[in-house]
Amino acid sequence: MAELPIQFGILGCADIARKVSRAIILSPNSTLCAVGSRSLEKAAKFAKENGFPKSAKVYGSYEAVLDDPDVDAVYVPLPTSLHVKWAVLAAQKKKHLLLEKPVALNVKELDVILEAVESSEVQFMDSTMWMHNPRTAAMKEFLSNSELFGELKSVNSCFTFAAKQDFLENDIRVKPDLDALGALGDAGWYCIRSILWASNFELPKTVLALRDPVFNKAGVILACSASLYWEDGKIATFHCSFLANLTMDLTIVGTNGTLHLHDFVIPFEEKKASFSVATKSGFTELVTGWEPKPSEHQVTTDLPQEALMVKEFSRLVGSIKFDGSKPEIKWPTLSRKTQQVLDAVKLSIEKGFETVEV
Amino acid sequence: MAELPIQFGILGCADIARKVSRAIILSPNSTLCAVGSRSLEKAAKFAKENGFPKSAKVYGSYEAVLDDPDVDAVYVPLPTSLHVKWAVLAAQKKKHLLLEKPVALNVKELDVILEAVESSEVQFMDSTMWMHNPRTAAMKEFLSNSELFGELKSVNSCFTFAAKQDFLENDIRVKPDLDALGALGDAGWYCIRSILWASNFELPKTVLALRDPVFNKAGVILACSASLYWEDGKIATFHCSFLANLTMDLTIVGTNGTLHLHDFVIPFEEKKASFSVATKSGFTELVTGWEPKPSEHQVTTDLPQEALMVKEFSRLVGSIKFDGSKPEIKWPTLSRKTQQVLDAVKLSIEKGFETVEV
């Protein structure tokens, strides 16, 4: 029996849903089935503008998407404060769940979602697209090579972008009732994920937020930094901000090797992405140059990373739907660890920059 | 009257003195005049192996170099704990002073040196070579452009190298009686200097060392990190280590622009050096790529940065010697600020990672 493509419903017409709609179209094992908005008109406009097939359904509510028996999976790009409600409902309605990051306001809320997901045996994945770029696997291969990279010693991650005035006044990411985690939940999520990824998802023992985060008048974080500590002496730092030029740095230093990239969240280009590595770097005889020098590695991809994410998610959903497989718990596990560290950073800020155990 | 080249004496035969000897030869306004070591034989061997002219004198003591009336200036690459003694004596003997970093064990000692320098009206400069690379000026031009770079928001600097076992056991930089500042005084000096350089040498208001520095058995720092805070909200972090692969990163992020380089202390190559800049970086329409992308800039130089350092130092010495100019106070001022921050980091570590005012 030919396996049908996974049918996606989308809750809401967020900007990011445009990119993910395209990814669902590009991915060979998925298709756009429905979109729901609180405004039917908005949903119809969204479907029309984003290449939904004629057969796709448009709804004037999120519930209607969840009640549509044709919908296998939902992509949920709603404001973070609405995640727990809609993600739980989606799971209860047996919809597989591709959830925008940050997945929840805190681990407690996330656990409510994950319990519903587990109880319904649906697949859960957060929408951290760069995890699915083939570059990420190529970099992990380097980091896993004890000869080339050795033992991890330090990580620095930085994700900033210069939000425009309109964003700083109106975007959901600066509203305490919508995305209360602000820059920490948005850009910081990626920094934390990248650090955990570099450390093979071994949780740090403690976290210390650095001083002087920037808040808006409503108390939402616009910029912050933190340091993470492991028992074996590894250290990581990150900086996230809505208030500085777009920067997406990841630097990973080991005993034998160093890895750099400057576009870790969203590659400079869709179809190719590069990173730089160095191994056992040293100097020329009089210390007037490097020998060997770092080298650049390029990884090409037919599908953009967000389509590869949809493809992997749909593959897992298909395995459950058609082969009776169990959900892959790797993905909720990674989401939870990311959220745990995020919570610890937030708590450290709230406690006046005290060290917090993770 | 033709101005004669500045005559250099070198105190000691440290490894780094080989590189600086070559720089003195390469610089058009300087020449090697004398070298002194506690062992006359070592001094003679050093002179022979490092291209000293036949006329150069070799001495079996440092004093003899300082007493040589032909010597205009001395380069002092002695262990840090000996700086105060020999730098003060050099100044008293009216020798201009090119002093290896870290310039002193602490600001108090440095002030003793600087008082001697001021009182003798000799030129002082620390041997931070990268300051003199034309790339540094090109980068500063970018950072000073309010349209291209804007207001400085954050800096991250990282200088690590993987010291071999012999270094970790025997190098002066791991000996409490010689270079008690360890990795902080060596690699950390450059990190602090780069951060201060990026902030136009505006001192941070406070410094907080990050937890879990690594010490050797003698209590010398082998790896540490710190965070620096300015009143206007700027933040900087750095990591320095003898225990990880050679890495020399500097990332400077402003409201409008970003600057990256990965070889800020010693360029990958002698005759050319590059850096990457980005201005008003944004995304393509569906946030699937960057527009504009960062661009790479290459700066070429006929002379390596250490020769340009010697040339600038010799130019200043020549102005004093031949034109009756006053010493340029910029250089001791930058040294002192670097040492002030270094002291604050060390104090923060000693106080158990308390915030320290600079």
Residue from A245, A255, A270, A272 to probe the interface with B (highest B Cβ count within 10 Å): A245
The distance of A150 to chain B (nearest Cα, Å) reads 9
What is the reported pLDDT for B1? 41
Look-up of token digits 């760069």: A130
Query: For chain A, what is the mean pLDDT?
Result: 97
Residue B262 predicted with pLDDT over 80: yes
CA B13, distance to chain mean position in Å, is 19
Residue B2: pLDDT band with limits 50, 70, 90: low
C-alpha neighbours within 13 Å on the C-beta side of residue A265: 24
Residues 232-271 of A with CB under 8 A from B: 233, 235, 237, 239, 241, 243-247, 249, 251, 253-258, 260, 262-263, 266-270
Q: What is the CATH number of domain B131-305+339-357?
A: 3.30.360.10
- 3-state SS assignment for residue A315: helix
Does residue B282 belong to the interface with chain A, where contact is any CB pair within 8 Å?
Answer: yes
The distance of B66 to chain A (nearest Cα, Å) reads 26
A279 CB neighbours in chain B (<8 A) are 245
C-alpha neighbours within 13 Å on the C-beta side of residue B9: 30
C-alpha B92/C-alpha B77 separation (Å) is 18
C-alpha B204/C-alpha B264 separation (Å) is 21
C-alpha B32/C-alpha B72 separation (Å) is 10
Does residue A273 belong to the interface with chain B, where contact is any CB pair within 8 Å?
Answer: no
Residues 309-348 of B with CB under 8 A from A: none
- Checking A350-358 for CB contacts under 8 A at 24+ apart, the result is A353/A208, A353/A209, A353/A210, A353/A211, A354/A208, A355/A206, A355/A207, A355/A208, A355/B211, A356/A206, A356/A207, A356/A208, A357/A205, A357/A206, A358/A203, A358/A204, A358/A205, A358/A206, A358/A207
A-to-B residue pairs, Cβ atoms closer than 8 angstroms = 199
What is the reported pLDDT for A2? 55
Does residue A352 belong to the interface with chain B, where contact is any CB pair within 8 Å?
Answer: no
B46 CB neighbours in chain A (<8 A) are none
Residue B3: pLDDT band with limits 50, 70, 90: confident
Residue A3: pLDDT band with limits 50, 70, 90: confident
State both tokens at A14: 């967020």
Mean pLDDT of B158-173: 95
Domain A6-130+306-327, second-level architecture: 3-Layer(aba) Sandwich (3.40)
The class that CATH gives domain B6-128 is alpha beta
Mean pLDDT of B149-166: 97
For residues B76 and B97, the answer to whether their CB atoms sit within 8 Å is yes
Residues 6+ apart with CB under 8 A from B295: B276, B277, B278
State both tokens at A9: 């419903």
CA end-to-end span of chain A: 47
The distance of B326 to chain A (nearest Cα, Å) reads 32
C-alpha B53/C-alpha B29 separation (Å) is 15
In the DSSP assignment, the letter for residue B28 is: T
Chain B residue closest in CA terms to A234: B212
Residue A128 predicted with pLDDT over 90: yes
Does A229 contact B237 at a Cβ distance shorter than 8 Å? Answer: no
Q: How many CB atoms lie within 10 A of CB A228?
A: 27
Residue from B50, B186, B253 to probe the interface with A (highest A Cβ count within 10 Å): B253
Mean pLDDT of A292-320: 98
β-pair type (B57-59, B124-126): unpaired
For residues B156 and B237, the answer to whether their CB atoms sit within 8 Å is yes
Extents of the domains making up chain A: 6-130+306-327, 134-302+339-357
CATH number, domain A134-302+339-357, options 3.30.460.80, 3.30.70.1430, 3.90.980.10, 3.30.360.10: 3.30.360.10
B258 phi, psi to nearest 5 deg: -135, 140
